[in-house]
Amino acid sequence: MRMRPTLSWTPAGDLPPGTTDLGPVVEVLGAGGVLVLSGAGLSTESGIPDYRGEGGSLSRHTPMTYQDFLAGHEARRRYWARSHLGWRTFGRARPNAGHRAVAAFARHGLLAGVITQNVDGLHRAAGDAQAVELHGSLDRVVCLSCGALSPRGELAERLEEANPGYAPVAAGINPDGDADLTAEQVADFRVLPCTDCGGILKPDVVFFGETVPPERVERCRAAVRAAAAVLVLGSSLTVMSGLRFVRQAAEAGKPVVIINRDATRGDRYAVTRVALPLGPALTSVADRLGISVISVEGH
């Protein structure tokens, strides 16, 4: 499956309006077998901005594409300088009430699984180790030559040593961990190679224009087939990599419920869209189901 860099989507006028009624969410979760599909909107309450919501980063930022990253050293210098600075903030983000609610639903046996389009690792941090990270995670680094995987923290330490005192002021941090810096601020940044083979390092995430591993896609398709319903949390579903699972569920006659403040590309396939903030909404749903939303120790 190849992700095209679809950066915007204009809602059609015939989409059903959103509601504030959480009843359908309580109903599908109470019945169990729910597959959660989460997007950037779930992490905004953890201090990570989304792409397309109100004030979303796409209004000022175009994400790095896979083709640009491979094109030359200067593009990679720009990416790693910005990403290294962004990691200092991004890596400190912690799960919010929404992530904790999803983990609580899983602990109580109400979920068939979790698929996240996010690369922040916050589902894992909340205690859901089985979540499928569709687009990978920024806390891992992969070598494009030898395939070696390593923790992002190790590379961060190496980059600190190679770029002592590097602390430019960024205009903002984006959902992909990329800080907004000028060309002058990244000009002298030193990029490091793989310690095993000297190859090019890349975060273990799927860039726009890159292929999602087929086995990961099939794992997600299987999860949709096994689920009784799909609950979408904080995603505009603009990118086909997530929308296709909503379409698959709808074509199979499985109810799709969406919680997202703004209209989504999947609204026409949904039973309803609840237009409420995710943290309070999911906490309320948990309360109505008699489930306690607690933090995982250490997070």
70: domain CATH number is 3.40.50.1220
Query: Is the pLDDT at 156 greater than 50, yes or no?
Result: yes
For residue 208, give the DSSP letter. B
Q: Which of the two residues, 260 and 241, has the higher pLDDT score?
A: 260
- CA triplet 174, 178, 181: central angle to 5 degrees? 105
Helix axes 23-31, 278-288, angle to 10 degrees: 60
Structure token pair of residue 2: 């190849």
Across the chain, what does the average pLDDT equal?
89
Q: Any idea what DSSP says for residue 106?
A: H
Instruction: Reply yes or no on whether the pLDDT at 110 is more than 70.
Output: yes
Of the listed ranges 4-13, 17-26, 189-198, 252-261, the least confidently predicted one is: 4-13
Mean pLDDT, range 239-243, rounded to an integer? 90
Q: Is residue 7 part of a domain?
A: no
Q: What pLDDT is recorded for position 251?
A: 98
What the block records as the tokens of 221 is 């398709």
- Which residue numbers belong to the known binding site? 39-59, 117-120, 143, 146, 194, 197, 234-236, 278
Q: Is the pLDDT of residue 291 over 90?
A: yes
Domain count, the chain: 1
Q: Is 153 inside any structural domain?
A: yes
* Catalytic residue annotation: 135
pLDDT of residue 215: 97
Cα-Cα end-to-end distance for the chain: 34
pLDDT of res. 9: 54
Cα–Cα distances in Å, from 285 out to 23, 27, 97, 135, 228?
8, 10, 12, 28, 18
Measured between alpha carbons, how far is 214 from 193 in angstroms, rounded to an integer? 27
- Residue numbering of the annotated binding site for NAD(+): 39-59, 117-120, 234-236, 278
5 falls within a domain: no
Q: What's the rounded Cα separation, in Å, for the pair 156 and 176?
A: 16
pLDDT of residue 57: 45
Residue 106 inside a domain? The answer is yes
Predicted structure pTM score: 0.89
Strands 111-116 vs 132-133: parallel, antiparallel or unpaired? parallel
* Interval 53-79 mean pLDDT: 76
Question: 12: pLDDT confidence band, cut at 50, 70 and 90?
Answer: low
- Expressed as residue numbers, the domain containing 172 is 23-288
